[in-house]
C-alpha cells in the first residue's frame, strides 16, 4: 500500500474509494485517507485555528496535491494506473468491477472480496489566485491545460470542472480536471488478465448521470457546477439561493456567468464515458468472462440496493443486522462496516438532497437500533448543505443510539480533522466480529435483479 | 595535558565504533548475499501453478530448465532471459503461454540456477548461443519458437545465424544494445529511467537474487560482452520469421532503434505494445502473451507438419 503518485488527488472519490476497498481486501481498516501519518497529526491542530486560517490551510493543502500546468503535459497516466492496481492484493478474483466511482459499490465489492478499477480520477492542477465565481476566466484558462493533458495520454476525455458552490476553497488555488479513461491502460489490461480466471465476471459500473457542458474539443469539456446541493438550473441561470450565497461570500455578482452549454455528457465525477465498453467487450470475449453492466442514473440509487444485498448476506450467515452506517462522500470504511455487521448506506455529500435520500431509505426500513453517521466537511456553507440539525433528526430515528462518528458538529462544515479521526471513532462504536463468508457473484446478480428495479438500478449482459 | 587527551580518546572511540559498524554491515551484507544465492529456482507461486524444473548436464554445463505442465502439441516455445537475470523473471509469461503451448525456460550457463563457479570463464554471446543449441538437442528437440528479452535477443540472433534449423520463429522483445547508446553509462541511465516506470511492479528483488547467483565478476564480464556484441550485424542473416516487440515506454530499446532492426530482417515485423516498458515479460506478461499470440499461431500453422 502506497501513497498515490502525482497527478491524482487523494481527497477525492476515486482515489479514496479505491484505497478504502484495497484496505478491506488486505484485511485492514481504512484508517487514513491521506496515507500520511504526519498530516493526520496536523489536522486536529488545523481544526482549532480560526475559520479563515483554517480555510487557508485547507486550500494550501489542496494546492500541494496539485501538479503545475507544465507538468500536465507529462502526466503519467500509465503510472497512475499502475499505482491503482498495485493497491490490490495479488491473487485470483472471482469477479472485478470497473467504471464509475460509487461508495455503495465499494461496499459491494468489499463484501465479495473483489477489486474495482475507476474509469475517472481527479487531476488537480495548480492555478493560483483564481476567482472561483469567474466561470469565463476558468473556462479560458482551462483550455490549454486540457490540451496538454490530452497530449500526455490521448485516450482520455478531459472534464474541466468548476463548482464554486462546493469546491470553493480549493478553486482559489487550483483547477479540477477529471480524467476519464476511454481505453484501458496497459496496467488495467494486465491486472484483469492476471487476476480474473476463465469464466469470471467483470461488472461495468455505469452511472448514466449527465451534465450540460461546453465542449472545448472533441475530447474535452467544461462543466460548471456539479452534483450536490444546487441544481443545474441554479448554476447556469442563477436564482435566489445563488444570489444569497454570492452575497454571503462577498461577491459582487448576483449569478454566475457560465459559458453556454453545447452538449450533455457524462457527469464529470460520477458518470461513465461509454467508450471504455468497447475494449472491455473485446477483452471479455477473448478471455471468456461474463461481462455485466450495472446501470443507474442517480449515484445514491445503488445505496438502496447494496443495503438490501447486505441485509440478505448477513441473514444468510445467521446475523440480524440492526446497525446502520451512513457514509458521506469519501468517509467510509467497508472493512469496519462488515466487521460491525452493519448495513452500509452511502451518501454523495452532506447536502439536503442526500439527507432526503437517507430519509426515504429510513421510511421504508424497519427501525435501526443504532445509526452511525459520518459527515464530510468541504469548508463552505454551500447552497443546499444540510445543517447538523437536519442530520440529527435523521439520527434520532434510531431506537437505541444514533450518533455522529468523528464529527465535530460545532465546526461542521469546517471540520477538516474528521478525515483523520472518523475511522478510529467508527471502530470504537461497536465490537468487531468476523464478517460472513464472501458474497458470491450469483448472490450479487440475484440481489440487483431483485431489488434494483424499484430504485432504478438495472443489470444488463454485454456479451 | 588533559585537554589534549580527551579529543584523542573521543576520536579513537569513534573510529572503533565506525569499524565495528562497518564490520557488522559487511557481515550482514554477506549473510544476505548468501541467503539470496540459496533462493530456490522456481518461485512458490509458479510451482503451485504447475511450473516444474529439472537440471541436466549439457556438455560442459549443468543447466536448469523450467517447464510448463501442459504438454501441448506443436512447436515448443523457449523463453530466453536478459542480462544477468534468469528464467525466474519469465515464469509468469511461461504460465500465460503455457495455456496453449509447451513452454521451456532454461537458465543460461552462469546465471540463475545454471550458476557456475566464479573461476569458470564467462561465455561470449556466440558461446551462449551454442550452449542453447546443445541444450535443445539434449532435450530431444530439433526446432522451437524462441522468445527473448533484452540481452536474450542478442543470444537468439546469434543462435538464428549459427543454427538456423533450430529456429522456427523468433520474438525479440526490447532488443539491445542500441548502437546510438553503446556505453555502460548510457545503458545504465536508460535502465534507471525504465526502472522508475516499473516501480510499482519492479523486478529489482529478482535481479538481486540473480546477481547474487551469477556473481558480480560474471555480471560485469557479461555486460562487457553485451556491449561488444552487435545484433545489427547479425539480423540481416536471420531468415526465420521474426517479431520485434517493444513497449511504447521502453527507454532502453527506443522506437527508432527497433525500426532500424526491423529494416534489416528478411521476414521481420514490428509490434508496439502501448504503455509497455523494457521488462515487459515480467511487468506485463499477460499482455505480452496476448500480443504475440497471433504471431505464434501463424508460425505453428506454418510448421504444423512437424
pLDDT band at B1 (very low <50, low <70, confident <90, very high): very low
CA separation, residue A348 to residues A226, A229, A379, A451 (Å): 11, 10, 16, 20
Residues 280-309 of A with CB under 8 A from B: 286
User: Is the distance from CB of A142 to CB of A160 less than 8 angstroms?
Assistant: yes
**Domain regions of chain A by residue span:** 13-296, 302-451
CB atoms closer than 10 angstroms to residue A1: 12
Instruction: Report the pLDDT value the prediction gives residue B201, as an integer from 0 to 100.
Output: 86
Interface residue A193 vs chain B (CB under 8 A): yes
Give the span between the Cα atoms of B167 and B242, in whole angstroms: 10
pLDDT band at B4 (very low <50, low <70, confident <90, very high): low
Instruction: Report the pLDDT value the prediction gives residue B7, as an integer from 0 to 100.
Output: 67
Note whether A189 contacts B286, CB cutoff 8 Å.
yes
Instruction: Report the pLDDT value the prediction gives residue B114, as an integer from 0 to 100.
Output: 92
The residue of chain B nearest to residue A194, with distances taken between CA atoms, is B286
Give the span between the Cα atoms of A334 and A311, in whole angstroms: 15
Question: What percentage of residues in chain A have a pLDDT greater than 90?
Answer: 80
CA separation, residue A347 to residues A30, A298, A351, A394, A399 (Å): 18, 11, 9, 13, 21
- B95: cell is 504460465
Instruction: Report the pLDDT value the prediction gives residue A461, as an integer from 0 to 100.
Output: 93
Give the span between the Cα atoms of B159 and A80, in whole angstroms: 40
User: Is the distance from CB of B270 to CB of B244 less than 8 angstroms?
Assistant: yes
Note whether B285 contacts A186, CB cutoff 8 Å.
no
Give the span between the Cα atoms of B223 and B252, in whole angstroms: 14
Interface residue A190 vs chain B (CB under 8 A): yes
List residues bridging with A122 in a β-sheet. A178
Range list of β-strands (E), A93-209:
95-99, 116-118, 120-126, 156-162, 174-181, 201-207
Mean pLDDT of A305-313: 97
Instruction: Report the pLDDT value the prediction gives residue A51, as an integer from 0 to 100.
Output: 76
Mean pLDDT of A208-218: 96
pLDDT in tens, B237-267: 999 999 999 999 999 999 999 999 999 999 9
- A274: cell is 461509454
CA separation, residue A5 to residues A17, A66, A285, B30 (Å): 16, 11, 33, 35
SS3 at position A431: coil
Across the interface, of A86, A189, A194, the residue whose CB is closest to B200 is A86
Interface residue A78 vs chain B (CB under 8 A): yes
- B182: cell is 553503446
Mean pLDDT of A212-234: 94
Across the interface, of B197, B249, B287, the residue whose CB is closest to A190 is B287
Question: Which of B95, B96, B200, B279 should be substituted to probe chain A, the one whose Cβ sees the most A Cβ atoms within 10 Å?
Answer: B200
Across the interface, of B96, B200, B276, the residue whose CB is closest to A186 is B276
Largest separation between any pair of C-alpha atoms in chain A: 61
Q: Under 8 Å CB-to-CB from A394, ≥6 apart: which residues? A: A355, A358, A359, A362, A371, A373, A402
Across the interface, of B201, B249, B290, the residue whose CB is closest to A193 is B290
Pick the closest to residue A21 from A91, A121, A111 (CA basis): A111
Does the pLDDT of residue A54 top 80, yes or no?
Answer: no
- Residue A222: which H helix or E strand, with range? strand A220-224
pLDDT band at B149 (very low <50, low <70, confident <90, very high): very high
* Backbone torsions φ then ψ of A329, nearest 5 degrees: 55, -110
DSSP state at residue A329 = T
SS3 at position A386: coil
Note whether A78 contacts B275, CB cutoff 8 Å.
yes
CA separation, residue B240 to residues B156, B164, B194, B270 (Å): 11, 8, 30, 14
B144-149 and A156-162: which strand pairing?
unpaired
- A454: cell is 424499484
Q: Under 8 Å CB-to-CB from A11, ≥6 apart: which residues? A: A33, A34, A62, A65, A330, A419
Q: Which residues of B touch A78 (CB under 8 A)?
A: 197, 249, 275
- A135: cell is 466561470
**Dihedral sign from CA coordinates of B57, B63, B64, B70:** negative
List residues bridging with A446 in a β-sheet. none
Q: Which residues of B touch A189 (CB under 8 A)?
A: 284, 286-287, 290
Helices H / strands E in chain A, number of each: 18, 15
Pick the closest to residue A242 from A128, A135, A378 (CA basis): A135
Q: Which residues of A touch B201 (CB under 8 A)?
A: 82, 86
Does the pLDDT of residue A81 top 80, yes or no?
Answer: yes
Please return the burial class of A231, using the count of CB atoms within 10 Å of its CB with bins 0-12, 13-18 and 19+.
middle
Does the pLDDT of residue B3 top 60, yes or no?
Answer: no
* Backbone torsions φ then ψ of A162, nearest 5 degrees: -130, 110
Note whether A187 contacts B286, CB cutoff 8 Å.
no
User: Is the distance from CB of A60 to CB of A52 less than 8 angstroms?
Assistant: no
Give the span between the Cα atoms of B165 and B142, in whole angstroms: 8
User: Is the distance from CB of A429 to CB of A439 less than 8 angstroms?
Assistant: no
* Backbone torsions φ then ψ of B136, nearest 5 degrees: -65, -45
| Sheet (strand A342-347) strand order | A342-347, A323-328, A370-373, A401-404
User: Is the distance from CB of A242 to CB of A231 less than 8 angstroms?
Assistant: no
Q: Which residues of B touch A76 (CB under 8 A)?
A: 197
Interface residue B293 vs chain A (CB under 8 A): no
Q: Which residues of B touch A83 (CB under 8 A)?
A: 200
Q: Which residues of A touch B284 (CB under 8 A)?
A: 186-187, 189-190
Kindly report the average pLDDT of chain B as a whole number: 92
Least confident of A135-139, A314-318, B41-45, B118-122: B118-122
Give the span between the Cα atoms of A403 and A322, in whole angstroms: 14
Instruction: Report the pLDDT value the prediction gives residue A46, as an integer from 0 to 100.
Output: 78
Across the interface, of A76, A83, A190, the residue whose CB is closest to B284 is A190
Mean pLDDT of B89-97: 95
Query: Where does B90-142 have alpha helices with state H?
Result: 91-97, 125-138
ipTM of the complex: 0.82
Instruction: Report the pLDDT value the prediction gives residue A371, as an integer from 0 to 100.
Output: 97
Mean pLDDT of B42-61: 91
Across the interface, of B197, B249, B286, the residue whose CB is closest to A190 is B286
Give the span between the Cα atoms of A40 and A42, in whole angstroms: 5
The residue of chain B nearest to residue A87, with distances taken between CA atoms, is B200
Q: Under 8 Å CB-to-CB from A47, ≥6 apart: which residues? A: A54, A408, A411, A414, A415, A416, A417
B61-67 and B52-58: which strand pairing?
antiparallel
pLDDT band at B230 (very low <50, low <70, confident <90, very high): very high
Q: Which residues of B touch A2 (CB under 8 A)?
A: 200
Instruction: Report the pLDDT value the prediction gives residue A72, as an integer from 0 to 100.
Output: 93
Instruction: Report the pLDDT value the prediction gives residue A52, as an integer from 0 to 100.
Output: 76
Q: Under 8 Å CB-to-CB from A447, ≥6 apart: which residues? A: A305, A308, A309, A312
User: Is the distance from CB of A418 to CB of A451 less than 8 angstroms?
Assistant: no
**Dihedral sign from CA coordinates of B211, B217, B222, B227:** positive
**Domain regions of chain B by residue span:** 47-302
pLDDT in tens, A385-412: 999 999 999 999 999 999 999 999 888 8
Interface residue B221 vs chain A (CB under 8 A): no
Across the interface, of A78, A86, A286, the residue whose CB is closest to B249 is A78
Give the span between the Cα atoms of A241 and A248, in whole angstroms: 10
Instruction: Report the pLDDT value the prediction gives residue B10, as an integer from 0 to 100.
Output: 82
CATH superfamily of B47-302: Alpha/Beta hydrolase fold, catalytic domain (3.40.50.1820)
Instruction: Report the pLDDT value the prediction gives residue B131, as an integer from 0 to 100.
Output: 94
Rg value, chain A, Cα: 21
pLDDT in tens, A103-144: 999 999 999 999 999 999 999 999 888 889 999 999 999 999
Pick the closest to residue B143 from B154, B128, B132 (CA basis): B132
Q: Which residues of A touch B276 (CB under 8 A)?
A: 186
Instruction: Reply yes or no: is the peptide bond before residue A160 cis, omega within 30 of 0.
Output: no
Question: Which of B275, B284, B289, B293 should be substituted to probe chain A, the one whose Cβ sees the most A Cβ atoms within 10 Å?
Answer: B275
Q: Which residues of B touch A287 (CB under 8 A)?
A: none
Instruction: Report the pLDDT value the prediction gives residue A38, as an integer from 0 to 100.
Output: 80
Does the pLDDT of residue B132 top 60, yes or no?
Answer: yes
pLDDT in tens, A413-449: 888 888 889 999 999 999 999 999 999 999 999 999 9
Measured between CA atoms, how close is A133 to chain B, in angstroms? Answer: 39
Pick the closest to residue A79 from B190, B286, B200 (CA basis): B200
pLDDT in tens, A245-293: 999 998 889 999 999 999 999 999 999 999 999 999 999 999 999 999 9
SS3 at position B155: helix
Q: Which residues of A touch B274 (CB under 8 A)?
A: 186
Does the pLDDT of residue A178 top 90, yes or no?
Answer: yes
SS (HEC) of A228-280: CCCCHHHHHHCCHHHHHHHHHCCCCCCCCCCCCCCEEEECCCCCCCHHHHHHH
**Long-range own/partner contacts, residues A58-63 (CB < 8 A, 24 or more apart):** A58/A169, A58/A170, A58/A379, A58/A416, A59/A169, A59/A170, A59/A172, A59/A173, A60/A173, A62/A9, A62/A11, A62/A124, A62/A169, A62/A170, A62/A173, A62/A174, A63/A126, A63/A128, A63/A173, A63/A174
Instruction: Report the pLDDT value the prediction gives residue B306, as an integer from 0 to 100.
Output: 66
Least confident of A41-50, A209-218, A347-356, B110-119: A41-50
Which has the higher per-residue pLDDT, B116 or B47? Answer: B47
Q: Under 8 Å CB-to-CB from A400, ≥6 apart: which residues? A: A369, A370
Instruction: Report the pLDDT value the prediction gives residue A389, as an integer from 0 to 100.
Output: 95
Amino acid at each position: 500500500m502506497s501513497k498515490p503518485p502525482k497527478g491524482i488527488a487523494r481527497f477525492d472519490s476515486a482515489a479514496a474509494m479505491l484505497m478504502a476497498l484495497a484496505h478491506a481486501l488486505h484485511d485492514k481498516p481504512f484508517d487514513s485517507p491521506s496515507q500520511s501519518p504526519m498530516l493526520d497529526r496536523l489536522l486536529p491542530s488545523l481544526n482549532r485555528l480560526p475559520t479563515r486560517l483554517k480555510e487557508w490551510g485547507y486550500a494550501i493543502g489542496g494546492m500541494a496535491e496539485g501538479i503545475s500546468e507544465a507538468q500536465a503535459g507529462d502526466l503519467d497516466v500509465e503510472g497512475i494506473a499502475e499505482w491503482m492496481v498495485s493497491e490490490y492484493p495479488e491473487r485470483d478474483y472471482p469477479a472485478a468491477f470497473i467504471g464509475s466511482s460509487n461508495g455503495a459499490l465499494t461496499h459491494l465489492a468489499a463484501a465479495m472480496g473483489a477489486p474495482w478499477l475507476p474509469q475517472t480520477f481527479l487531476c488537480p492542477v495548480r492555478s493560483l489566485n483564481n476567482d472561483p465565481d469567474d466561470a469565463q476566466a476558468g473556462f479560458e484558462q482551462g483550455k490549454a491545460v486540457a490540451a496538454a493533458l490530452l497530449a500526455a495520454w490521448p485516450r482520455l476525455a478531459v472534464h474541466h470542472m468548476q463548482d464554486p458552490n462546493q469546491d470553493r476553497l480549493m478553486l482559489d488555488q487550483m483547477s479540477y480536471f477529471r480524467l476519464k479513461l476511454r481505453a484501458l491502460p496497459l496496467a488495467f489490461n494486465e491486472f484483469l488478465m492476471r487476476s480474473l480466471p476463465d469464466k469470471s465476471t467483470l461488472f461495468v459500473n455505469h452511472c448514466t448521470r449527465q451534465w450540460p457542458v461546453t465542449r472545448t474539443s472533441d475530447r474535452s469539456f467544461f462543466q460548471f457546477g456539479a452534483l450536490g446541493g444546487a441544481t443545474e438550473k441554479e448554476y447556469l441561470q442563477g436564482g435566489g439561493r445563488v444570489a444569497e450565497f454570492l452575497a454571503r461570500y462577498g461577491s459582487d455578482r448576483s449569478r454566475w456567468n457560465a459559458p453556454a452549454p453545447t452538449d450533455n455528457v457524462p457527469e464529470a465525477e460520477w458518470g461513465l464515458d461509454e467508450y471504455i465498453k468497447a475494449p472491455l467487450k473485446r477483452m471479455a470475449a477473448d478471455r471468456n468472462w461474463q461481462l455485466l453492466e450495472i446501470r443507474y442514473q442517480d449515484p445514491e440509487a445503488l445505496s438502496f440496493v447494496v443495503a438490501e444485498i447486505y441485509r440478505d448476506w448477513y441473514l444468510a450467515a445467521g446475523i440480524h443486522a440492526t446497525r446502520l452506517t451512513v457514509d458521506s462522500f469519501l468517509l467510509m470504511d467497508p472493512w469496519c462496516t462488515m466487521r460491525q455487521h452493519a448495513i452500509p448506506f452511502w451518501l454523495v455529500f452532506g447536502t439536503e438532497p442526500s439527507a432526503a435520500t437517507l430519509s426515504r431509505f429510513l421510511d421504508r426500513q424497519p427501525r435501526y437500533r443504532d445509526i452511525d453517521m459520518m459527515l464530510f466537511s468541504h469548508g463552505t456553507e454551500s447552497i443546499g448543505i444540510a445543517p447538523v440539525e437536519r442530520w440529527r433528526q435523521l439520527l434520532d430515528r434510531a431506537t437505541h443510539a444514533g450518533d455522529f462518528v468523528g464529527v465535530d458538529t460545532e465546526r461542521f462544515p469546517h471540520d477538516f480533522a474528521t478525515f483523520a479521526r472518523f475511522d478510529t471513532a467508527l471502530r470504537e462504536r461497536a465490537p468487531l466480529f468476523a464478517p460472513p463468508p464472501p458474497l458470491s457473484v450469483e448472490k450479487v446478480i440475484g440481489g440487483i435483479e431483485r431489488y434494483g428495479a424499484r430504485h432504478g438500478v438495472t443489470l444488463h449482459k454485454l456479451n | 595535558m588533559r585537554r589534549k587527551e580527551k579529543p584523542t580518546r573521543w576520536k579513537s572511540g569513534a573510529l572503533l565504533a565506525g569499524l565495528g559498524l562497518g564490520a557488522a554491515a559487511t557481515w550482514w551484507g554477506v549473510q544476505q548475499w548468501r541467503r539470496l544465492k540459496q533462493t530456490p529456482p522456481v518461485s512458490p507461486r509458479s510451482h503451485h501453478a504447475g511450473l516444474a524444473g529439472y537440471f541436466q548436464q549439457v556438455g560442459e554445463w549443468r543447466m536448469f530448465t523450467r517447464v510448463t505442465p501442459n504438454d501441448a502439441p506443436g512447436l515448443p516455445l523457449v523463453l530466453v532471459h536478459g542480462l544477468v537475470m534468469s528464467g525466474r523473471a519469465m515464469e509468469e509469461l511461461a504460465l500465460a503461454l503455457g495455456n496453449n503451448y509447451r513452454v521451456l525456460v532454461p537458465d543460461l550457463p552462469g546465471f540463475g540456477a545454471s550458476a557456475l563457479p566464479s573461476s569458470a570463464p564467462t561465455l561470449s554471446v556466440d558461446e551462449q548461443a551454442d550452449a542453447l543449441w546443445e541444450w535443445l538437442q539434449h532435450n530431444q528437440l530439433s526446432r522451437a519458437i524462441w522468445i527473448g528479452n533484452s540481452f536474450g535477443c542478442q543470444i537468439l540472433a546469434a543462435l538464428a545465424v549459427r543454427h538456423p534449423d533450430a529456429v522456427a520463429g523468433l520474438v525479440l522483445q526490447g532488443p539491445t544494445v542500441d548502437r546510438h547508446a553503446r556505453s555502460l553509462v548510457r545503458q545504465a541511465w536508460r535502465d534507471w529511467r525504465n526502472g522508475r516506470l516499473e516501480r510499482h511492479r519492479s523486478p529489482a528483488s529478482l535481479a538481486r537474487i540473480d546477481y547474487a547467483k551469477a556473481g558480480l565478476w560474471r555480471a560485469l564480464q557479461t555486460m562487457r560482452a553485451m556491449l561488444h556484441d552487435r545484433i545489427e550485424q547479425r539480423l540481416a542473416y536471420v531468415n526465420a520469421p521474426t517479431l520485434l516487440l517493444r513497449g511504447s515506454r521502453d527507454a532502453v530499446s527506443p522506437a527508432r532503434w527497433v525500426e532500424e532492426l526491423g529494416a534489416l530482417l528478411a521476414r521481420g515485423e514490428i509490434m508496439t505494445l502501448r504503455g509497455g516498458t523494457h521488462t515487459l515479460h515480467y511487468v506485463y506478461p499477460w499482455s505480452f502473451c496476448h500480443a504475440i499470440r497471433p504471431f505464434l499461431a501463424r508460425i505453428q500453422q506454418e510448421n504444423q507438419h512437424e
